[in-house]
Amino acid sequence: MARGQRGIVFECEGSKLVGTIFTTADSPAPTAILLHGIPGIEKNHDLAHALRDAGLNAVVFHYRGCWGSDGDYRIDGVPTDVTACLDFLSSGACPEVDTERLFLIGHSLGGWAALSTGSDSRVRGVVAISAVVDPSRVEVTEEDALAYVSPWLRGVTPEEFVRQWSGARPATAAAAQLSKPLLVIHGGNDSLIPVDQARLAFDAARDPKALEIYPDADHAFIDSRPWLIGLVVGWVGERVAGTKGS
* pLDDT tens track for 178-226: 999 999 999 999 999 999 999 999 999 999 999 999 999 999 999 999 9
| Within a domain: 122 | yes
Average pLDDT, the chain: 96
Tens of pLDDT along 98-121?
999 999 999 999 999 999 999 999
Domains of the chain: total: 1
| pLDDT tier for residue 92 given thresholds of 50, 70 and 90 | very high
| Closest to 132 in 3D by CA, of 36, 208, 228 | 36
Checking if the pLDDT of 142 tops 60, the result is yes
User: What average pLDDT does this structure show over 8-37?
Assistant: 97
Which pLDDT belongs to residue 27?
87
In a domain, 146, yes or no: yes
Cβ-Cβ contacts under 8 Å for 89 (sequence gap 6 or more): 31, 33, 59, 97, 99, 102
> Which residues lie closer than 8 Å to 134 by C-beta, 6 or more apart?
170, 171, 172, 197, 200
**Cα–Cα distance measured from residue 239 to residue 209, given in angstroms and rounded to the nearest whole number:** 12
State which residues form the domain around 32.
Answer: 4-235
Percent of the chain scoring above 90 in pLDDT: 96
Is the pLDDT reported for residue 1 higher than 80?
Answer: no
Angle, alpha carbons 150-152-153 (nearest 5°): 65
In a domain, 158, yes or no: yes
The reported pLDDT for the residue numbered 242 is 80
Q: Is residue 106 part of a domain?
A: yes
Instruction: Compute the CA torsion angle 63, 67, 73, 78 (nearest 10 deg).
Output: 20
Amino acid at 172: T
Would you say residue 244 lies in a domain? no
State the CATH number of the domain containing residue 12: 3.40.50.1820
Please say if the pLDDT value at position 246 is more than 60. no
State the pairing for strand pair 4-12/15-23. Answer: antiparallel
DSSP one-letter code for 179: -
Question: Is 66 domain-assigned?
Answer: yes
Q: In what order do the strands lie in the sheet with 123-129?
A: 4-12, 15-23, 57-61, 29-35, 97-107, 123-129, 182-187, 209-214
In a domain, 245, yes or no: no
Task: Output the pLDDT for position 243.
Answer: 75
pLDDT digits (tens, 9 = 90+) for 38-89: 999 999 999 999 999 999 999 999 999 999 999 999 999 999 999 999 999 9
